[in-house]
Amino acid sequence: MNAVIQPGRLCGTAAVPPSKSAAHRAVLCAALAAGTSHIGNLEFSQDILATLGAVQQLGAKVERGEHDLTITGRGGAEGFPTVTRPVFCNESGSTLRFLIPVFSLTAQKVRFTGAGRLMERPQEIYAQLFERQGLRFEQNAQGITIFGRLCPGAFTLPGNVSSQFISGLLFAAPLMEADSTIEVRAPFESRSYVDLTVDAMQRFGVKVTARSRKDGTAVYKVAAPQRYIAADLTVEGDYSQAAFLAVLGSIVGDVSVSGLEPASRQGDKVILDILKRCGAKFEAKGGTVSFRRSLLKATEIDLADCPDLGPVLIALGCFCNGTTVIRHAGRLRIKESDRIASMQEELAKMGGCVQADGDTVTVTGGALHKPQVPLAGHNDHRIVMSMAVAALAAGVPVTIEGANAVNKSWPGFFEVLKNLGACVETEETEG
């Protein structure tokens, strides 16, 4: 699908979709729980659908409403059903990494498959862990095969890897036969995502003890065996998706974003602090934040705890006076696309100046112009949305090829832009 975007005046209020991070965690906990859980405020993106498909293979029963779910969990670590077919994770790194340790508890040979670049993304942490326990872990371009039940014990992980590995072990730990300790060495990046995992587990009745050492190392202790217990909850709004509208509103003004939890523990909530440092003017009332048109200035940004904000912050840098410096950006290269290279390539078509040196990205502010060729989505939802924001903020017409990538996390993204007054036409393409 191509999206053709024309410049126009934007104004109004848009509700953000539910947090994908929180939804993954709620679905998995409910699927492992004893009893029936109800989860409200869901958007059935491709990633969430992948997790739903996977937990049904673990024995959970799922009843889907328009924007909610009823899940009857399997209720323990005994008697997993036979896994008869590969677990398809689509392009969802969360689905894959959360579920590898959980599926290992079935003590069966399990095959994971995916789409896009998922099977190219690094999994050395699990590969090494399985090898140390004498278990099978094989990865190639077609999929990952595991065989053998993870044993409890003391796990030590570096803190500069994806938090999804830590979360995966945490989800599985209470279902093991004895207690486990997970030590995450400093510097601990993306800790806020692990906080979301612990919070979800505790809401479903699992006790996790967390403490920090003076050097920044974190230690999680999980008693076992424990049972997840069914719970009802409503998924909060997603700050990582709100960031696209927040950046757009800070540049063009008259845009409000609703559906946000002011006390959220999402790491991507830092988008508001970053925009404030850039000089953005906005007002927060309850769960709604209203943005005014602002003259923005460059700042330094650390992505260690908020890597998903990377693409839209690179776009933001183009509209800030001065040079924006974005540090700890290296992990952007191993997402759905190489997000640094993708943003460099697409913004260059519009006259943007983005440079990368190792783990650091610098963006020099300056006017963007109409591109002479279509923009490419790079099969990456955050690239597509970031380029749509850049085009609307610059007031230039663009065509974005592969715009259907937004279905991975926010299928209604372009409808939201239309409701704000943007002129967006989508064109179906062959293939």
Q: Are residues 197 and 186 in the same domain?
A: yes
pLDDT of residue 290: 98
| Edge-to-edge order in the sheet of strand 87-88 | 87-88, 109-113, 143-147, 136-140
* Mean pLDDT of all residues belonging to the chain: 96
Q: Are residues 206 and 82 in the same domain?
A: yes
pLDDT digits (tens, 9 = 90+) for 216-261: 999 999 999 999 999 999 999 999 999 999 999 999 999 999 999 9
- Answer whether 0.75 is exceeded by the pTM: yes
pLDDT digits (tens, 9 = 90+) for 18-52: 999 999 999 999 999 999 999 999 999 999 999 99
- Percent of the chain exceeding pLDDT 90 equals 97
pLDDT of residue 427: 87
Full domain range(s) for residue 170: 23-234
- Whether 14 and 255 have beta carbons less than 8 Å apart is answered as yes
Q: Are residues 153 and 139 in the same domain?
A: yes
Label residue 305 left, alpha or beta by phi (over 0 means left) and psi (-120 to 50 means alpha). alpha
* Residue 281 pLDDT > 60: yes
Comparing 70-79, 110-119, 289-298, 365-374, which segment has the lowest mean pLDDT? Answer: 70-79
Q: Are residues 193 and 335 in the same domain?
A: no
pLDDT of residue 431: 56
* Residue 91 pLDDT > 80: yes
pLDDT of residue 429: 82
Q: Are residues 368 and 421 in the same domain?
A: yes
- Residues 91 and 82: their CA atoms lie apart, in Å, by 24
- Residues β-bridged to residue 327: 302
> Does residue 338 have an active-site annotation?
no
Q: Are residues 194 and 243 in the same domain?
A: no
Q: Are residues 278 and 265 in the same domain?
A: yes
CATH number, domain at 133? 3.65.10.10
* 313 closest CA partner among 359, 371, 254, 362: 362
Q: How confident is the model at residue 76 (pLDDT cuts 50, 70, 90)?
A: low
pLDDT of residue 80: 86
* Residue 79 pLDDT > 80: no
Domain final position from 183, 213, 234? 234
pLDDT of residue 40: 98
- Whether 115 and 90 have beta carbons less than 8 Å apart is answered as yes
Tell me which of 47, 238, 268, 308 is the catalytic residue. 308
* Residue 428 pLDDT > 90: no
Q: How confident is the model at residue 339 (pLDDT cuts 50, 70, 90)?
A: very high
pLDDT of residue 74: 85
Element at 194 (helix H, strand E): helix 191-203
Q: Are residues 224 and 259 in the same domain?
A: no
Total structural domains within the chain:
2
Q: Are residues 27 and 135 in the same domain?
A: yes
Domain final position from 234, 269, 286? 234
pLDDT of residue 54: 97
* Residue 330 pLDDT > 70: yes
Q: Are residues 250 and 230 in the same domain?
A: no
